[in-house]
Chain A
Amino acid sequence: MLGLDKRDTKFLLIVIFLTLATPILLQPFPESSTLAQFNAGYPDLMQRFAIFGIFAIGFNILFGLTGYLSFGHAAFLGIGSYSVVWMYKLLDYNVIWGLPLAVILSGLFALVIGYVSLRRSGIYFSILTLAFAQMSFNLAYSVLTPITNGETGLQVYTDDPQILMGATEPTSPHLFGIVMNQSAKINLGDWVFTFNNGYYFCAIIAIIAFYISLRIFRSPFGLMLRAIKSNQQRLNYTGLNARPYTLAAFVISGMYAGLAGGLMASMDPLAGAERMQWTASGEVVLMTILGGVGTMMGPVLGAGVIKYMENIFSKINEQVLHSWFGWLPDSLEGFVIFIAEHFVGSGWHMTSGVLFMLVVIFLPGGLVEGGQRIKAMFNNRGGDDADDPEHHPKHAPHVAE
């Protein structure tokens, strides 16, 4: 189906099912139970799953396939957000105008930045992209204030032209009248399921993005990108110029990032310069690594895990910890809570840092590799080559080496 073989079609169908059923799957605990705090089925969080999933899928096309580690992808995220909010200001709240512009503009920026940065590889490439992203961030904060509204962040004011704005049109982001932040709530016994328009909009785009990335992974173009990762020198010796391919990958992943940024602004009509800061680039690297570099499912998984944990961990406070560890003897309880409180609440970043280090040190293939190892432990038959539906690249030397 759709140019995919049987196995990939099954894979895609599973992904579609999981994405569409997310509002149900993420609400496993009844509202009245104490475990309800682990539910993740609210619109805001699910939208972030989908958006960061798109961001990570795009980043993976560059980092996973070619091995070029970009530390500047947040810049495209910011450009996407700004262009969508500008379309709100100039035309109206329909997201249909902003999103294509976000993709095109970030693609153009990616073309320029990529053209310059890709003349170097390895660590120099990382530093060049970092430099470009920091430049855009600094400019967005200072001189470009007329365009970006500086520290306040870009938002829609009542005196903006909004030339297409109709009288009855909703005054928040919508798609031809389908308002993004509206949702239908269904109460089933003790369970509450929220079906949000914005989430489904993001989810459909995420599925399309996933499908495109799947096609890229399976295409001759994708094969070429993998060849660049495994041995660029050999590729050059065979008379092939690798740069157009890496540039194409860079532009594609930049467009994905721009799309993700645009969707962020579609859910919440705001754009701030802090989206362009390099810690935001670090976050998408983290997601991709955590999930599994160069795999199809990994980055999405990583994005989900990070955003879920961010949400859950930052909610836990000292009272919650006390209620959990109350059964311990007092002195021990104090000690456990003393250790644990570093990692919860505002200490969530610490947890993500530790997690990141552990994954890089012990599980370079990310959660996907972890899953495979566990699977291999159970059906210990060897020959894991056959059991590799996603064609994970073998541990090839990195371009940076």
Chain B
Amino acid sequence: MDGILLQILNGLDKGSAYAMIALGLTLIFGTLGVVNFAHGALFMIGAFCAVSLQRLLGLSFETLDPTKKDFLGNPLKVKTPYIESWFGPEMGASIIDWSVPLAILFSIPIMLFVGWAMERGLIKHFYKRPHADQILVTFGLAIVMQEIIKHYYGANPIPTSAPSAFKGSLDFGVMLGFDPNVIIYPYWRLVYFAFSAAVITAVFSFLNFTTFGMVVRAGMADRETVGLLGINIDRRFTIMFGIAAAVAGLAGVMYAPINSPNYHMGMDFLVLSFVVVVVGGMGSLRGAVAAGFLLGVLESFASMNWIKDVIPGIDQIIIYLVAILILLTRPRGLMGRKGVMED
């Protein structure tokens, strides 16, 4: 029982990332009808927003401290981050400590802008082109984004730390009456799960409870009619693209402490997120979220030792196997609408 609980918990954080990326992919596909292979790159750029902010806050100047001497007897050089000199040492240190959550604020405008620029600059011209062309051009774009990041940040993963308040783990089992140290779960992963739940809820409320969202949903159902009603649906769809990019970016920002960002992390997630979208049902937002969590949890179940003993290597391929099964038996996915992209 405790093992099962632990695997569910372990699956949730990866599942959260899958769900957020897949949600963005589905938003883009549902509104603009574009298959975006560059979405993983947006996730990666989000993670690098966190890295950049941490570096930016860490910028420091050197002063000589005459009271201390180094081993040669010269006055010791002390590095003081600018932030600490502006806000005082304590305040400054805690701002640096909290850089990853702060990067959320920092990344939203960046991601919205990147999304907007991508849609207006490139994707716009590909509405009428075949899906294959869309896949190819966004694949090219993903390579370019990846290489730009690689050029400035190098090819190695960059460790990015979570705030010290969230370091350490929660002994989850004790709270449910199990023995201590059976179900241990890092705080930051809990935060990540809560954060993704909040983001996903926000996106759904935005779509369901605002006029803007209503128009967008109407546009997803029948773009032409909405256009005939005199509503500038294209502009709204562009904004939705920006929002989808921001969701992917946010997923990346908060993921940085879990897995040190490197330039190709986006590609790894992209393939899986596409599989998630397909399993959930092309164009179904709820399906994307549900399938994201489902596959995340399934993946962590498959990595349990006794299952691996029965079927070796199952943890590596379980997601793909599920996708193949779903595509062959129920091509519209778990929650896809009938008739949408079924062949």
Contact = CB atoms under 8 A, between A and B. Distances in A.
Q: Do A and B bind each other?
A: yes
A347 B327 contact: no
Nearest to B126: A361
B140 A357 contact: yes
Contacts of B140: 353-354, 356-357, 360
B278 A360 contact: no
A143 B140 CA distance: 32
B324 A139 contact: no
Contacts of A278: 267, 271
A37 to B, nearest CB: 23
A361 B125 contact: yes
A401 B143 contact: no
Contacts of A400: 130-132
Contact of A131 (B142, B312, B323, B341): B323
Contact of A127 (B274, B313, B328): B274
B258 interface: no
A112 to B, nearest CB: 11
Contact of A132 (B130, B132, B320): B320
Contacts of B146: 349, 353
B113 interface: no
A124 B139 contact: no
A119 interface: yes
Contacts of B130: 397-398, 400-401
A360 B143 contact: no
Interface in A114-132: 116, 119-124, 126-128, 130-132
A289 interface: yes
Interface centre among A67, A128, A279, A353 (most CB of B within 10 A): A353
Contacts, number: 123
B218 interface: no
B147 A347 contact: yes
A133 to B, nearest CB: 9
Nearest to A69: B132
Interface string B106-131: 00000000000000001001000011
B144 interface: yes
Interface in A383-401: 397-398, 400-401
Interface residues of B, number: 39
B278 A124 contact: yes
B133 A124 contact: no
A91 interface: no
Contacts of B275: 127, 131
B143 A353 contact: yes
A288 B339 CA distance: 32
A285 B135 CA distance: 11
B328 A123 contact: no
A123 to B, nearest CB: 5
B151 interface: yes
B132 A67 contact: yes
Interface string A332-375: 00000000001000110110111011001100100000000000
A123 B34 CA distance: 11
A350 B137 contact: no
Contacts of B132: 67, 69, 122-123, 126, 398, 400
Interface in A248-303: 278-279, 282, 285, 289
Contact of B328 (A116, A353, A360): A116
Interface in B118-171: 122, 125, 130-133, 135-137, 139-144, 146-148, 150-151
Contacts of B131: 122-123, 398, 400-401
Interface in B254-291: 267, 271, 274-275, 278
Contacts of A155: none
A191 to B, nearest CB: 36
A109 B41 CA distance: 31
B296 interface: no
A142 interface: yes
B331 A120 contact: yes
17 contacts: A69-B132, A69-B135, A116-B328, A122-B132, A123-B135, A124-B341, A131-B275, A139-B317, A143-B312, A278-B267, A342-B151, A350-B144, A353-B141, A357-B137, A357-B141, A361-B125, A364-B133
Interface of B: 35, 122, 125, 130-133, 135-137, 139-144, 146-148, 150-151, 267, 271, 274-275, 278, 312-313, 316-317, 320-321, 323-324, 327-328, 331, 341, 343
Given A126-B135, A132-B320, A353-B147, 9 more contacts: A124-B343, A126-B132, A130-B274, A135-B320, A141-B316, A350-B151, A357-B122, A400-B131, A401-B130
